[in-house]
């Protein structure tokens, strides 16, 4: 059985003041660059710890929303491919994307990375 560490990489400081859906793009003006940087460092630290603990890592993207700061999974996957030692890296495409519509079997073959 494979166990994955997963986080949506939220920018939660914007949640109390945000009006409307949190799944809609978050304007840059609502983000503090220093807080966003600290959060991204925290998420990378969590992924590296997951690797040390023997967990696999799953990344997702929601194109810069308040619930997911990542606009593309390839950036995080590229960094983690260099920095991790054992974790299997995987990408969960956003709902409605072509990769998700292809079905689970094709999705795993297309986007799961070998250990």
pLDDT in tens, the chain (115 residues): 888 898 888 888 888 877 777 777 777 788 899 999 999 999 999 999 999 999 999 988 776 678 888 878 888 999 999 999 999 998 865 555 555 555 444 333 334 444 4
Q: How many CB atoms lie within 10 A of CB 26?
A: 20
User: Distance between the two ends of the chain, CA-based, in angstroms?
Assistant: 14
């Amino acid at each position: 059985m494979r166990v994955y560490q997963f986080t949506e990489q939220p920018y939660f400081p914007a949640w109390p003041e945000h009006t409307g859906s949190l799944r809609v793009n978050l304007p840059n003006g609502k983000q503090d660059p220093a807080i966003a940087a600290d959060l991204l460092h925290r998420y990378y630290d969590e992924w590296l710890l997951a690797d040390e603990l023997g967990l696999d890592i799953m990344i997702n993207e929601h194109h810069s929303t308040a619930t997911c700061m990542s606009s593309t999974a390839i950036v995080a996957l590229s960094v983690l491919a260099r920095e991790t030692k054992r974790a299997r890296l995987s990408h969960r495409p956003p709902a409605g994307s072509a990769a998700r519509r292809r079905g689970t079997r094709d999705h795993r073959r297309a986007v799961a990375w070998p250990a």
